[in-house]
Amino acid sequence: MRAPKRLPRWFKIAAAAVAAVLVGVIAFAAIQVGRLQGNIVSAPLNLNPDAPSAAPVDENHDPLQILILGTDTRAGKNGAYGSAADSTGSGNSDVMMLMNLSADRKRVTVVSFPRDLMVPIPACKNPATGKTSAPQAVGQLNSALSFGGPGCTVAAINKMTGLQVDHFMMADFNAVKELTSTLGGVDVCVNQAIDDPLSGLKLPAGVSSIQGEQALSFLRTRHGFGNGGDEGRIKAQQSFLASMTRKIKSNGTLTDVGKVLAIADTVTKNLTVDEGLNNVPALVSMANRLKDVDLSKVAFITAPVEPWDQDPNRLQLQPDASAKLFATLRADGDVTASAKPAPSAAASKPAASSGAAPASAAPAAPSTPAAPAAPAFDKAAVPFSFVNASGTAGRDTALSKVAVSNGYTQAQAVPNDGPATISGTQLFYGPGYQEIAQETAKLYGIPAAQISPLAGFSGLELRIGQDFASGVKLNEGGGLPSGLNGQTAEQVTCQSGFGNY
């Protein structure tokens, strides 16, 4: 037999080099995973001792519900934000968002719950003391965290929605500061300068990139936006998360190993998760399944609420609207679609709570009801101003002509008294013009998330942003269907300051 040929020297050197690199990569990965694993803190998923056993969930093919909590505890690194009296226990929930991942992983729906929402709170067993708190027929949702940690809020959300929360993630103030700094800032837009001494938020009009303390102030302020209540704060949080989602998707963050490791390190150091997520591979797998979701299918929605019938300073769920929303999520429906599809076979996971209809018995996602009749008003009597902040000359004149041709004879372009450019178009309305604004918005395809009240003003004002630099329809076919309060991740929105806009 012929003797085998010797391999060339260059091949041996190359093979040795490749082997060395592979060994180095594997060793580095092992070290990183071990380090990240050491960062993670976990807690029990559901603290309601009376809750039925949760049905098994296939995390690769079933819809998933993940509760995202922000705690206002002042313990540890958060001591600078309160007194010693604030620094014990889990605190209250500063942020409560239920993230639904569709079975096909093509849609993400994030539902925000106001802190002042009054709901039934089930009994909860405190894992630290072993004591079980008494159930409450009605209590403030954000207080559930104080009865024993995030598992008690999970139990309350399960009971309220009829869904089964599969995982939770809880972050504190420090998480926001460090994550935004790791990302290199997140762009936010305000329609006028904001100076809120209570939160420390101070921003010029227009678009700013914020991180660290400034980002925390933006997310915490309750008196800086909208009507000075929780609704304006939630709207700002949704706009912030949409902007952060766009940034992560657009600049290659998820394909940059260095950035991913930096984000992973920041997140794992500042998160408390349930025991099912208490490992790095589970977190990485979840993130990997979300990286290709289309921005138009990432929806941020505020739970439909109304003033509580026992105290107008508190809130309760709007029965019909909230029931429809939760039924859609239980059926794995698409909240961004005008007509919801029938549920898939994967949407048969039963609820783990008592007192609510189980998901397996949930009806198909409801079809969109017929639109109510348009409000009767005289278009010729509506003062309608157009302000060009798009960066494209002539947009105010062009769009005002569209209004005139549709009967708004008082429509006119006016000088821009604010920032030269803004990212997101806004339709403002004065007192008494809300329904007229909602109807007029259809003329330009402006979604509800970009319609805002304007104090000390009479009529309507369309402030044209960079997202409306051409055409006569801003977002035809995009955004959320009528009746849902929120936005998608592809929408650029600007916040209105309390007492000004």
Query: Among candidates 153, 146, 151, which has minimal Cα distance to 91?
Result: 146
**394 dihedral zone (left: phi>0; alpha: psi -120 to 50; beta):** left
Which is it for strands 311-317 and 167-171: parallel, antiparallel or unpaired? unpaired
Q: Give the tokens for residue 343.
A: 């549920």
Note the pLDDT tens digit of each residue in 59-94: 778 899 999 998 865 454 544 444 444 444 556 787
**pLDDT at residue 340 greater than cutoff 70:** no
pLDDT band at 5 (very low <50, low <70, confident <90, very high): low
What is the identity of the amino acid at 491? Answer: Q
Is the model's pLDDT at 449 over the cut of 90?
A: no
Between CA 315 and CA 117 the distance in angstroms is: 5
User: Do the beta carbons of residue 463 and residue 426 sit within 8 Å?
Assistant: yes
Listed in sequence order, the residues at least 6 apart from 222 whose beta carbon sits closer than 8 Å to its beta carbon are: 198, 199, 228, 229, 230, 232, 233
Q: Which domains does the chain have, with CATH numbers?
A: 34-368 (3.40.630.190), 379-480 (3.30.70)
DSSP 3-state assignment of 26? helix
Joined together, the tokens standing for residue 3 give: 């003797």
36 is written with which tokens?
């990240």
Confidence class for position 320, pLDDT limits 50, 70, 90 = very high
The Cβ of residue 253 has, within 10 Å, a number of other Cβ atoms equal to 17
For 436, half-sphere exposure in the C-beta direction (CA atoms, 13 angstrom radius) is 21
DSSP code, position 341: P
- Residue appearing with tokens 């706009």: 239
Summarised one tens digit per residue, pLDDT across range 229-239 is 678 889 899 99
Tokens 């998330």 locate to: 449
For the stretch 207-260, pLDDT in tens is 899 999 999 999 888 766 766 667 888 989 999 999 998 888 876 676 676 777
Query: What proportions of the chain, in percent to the nearest 5, are helix, strand and coil?
Result: 35, 20, 45
Size of the chain, expressed as the number of residues it contains: 501
Q: What is the rounded distance in angstroms from the CA atom of residue 493 to the CA atom of residue 501?
A: 14
- How many CB atoms sit inside 10 A of residue 19's CB? 10
* Average pLDDT of the segment spanning 403-429: 91
The pTM assigned to this predicted structure is 0.76
Q: Are 51 and 352 in contact (CB under 8 A)?
A: yes
Rounded to whole angstroms, how far apart are CA atoms 202 and 215?
11
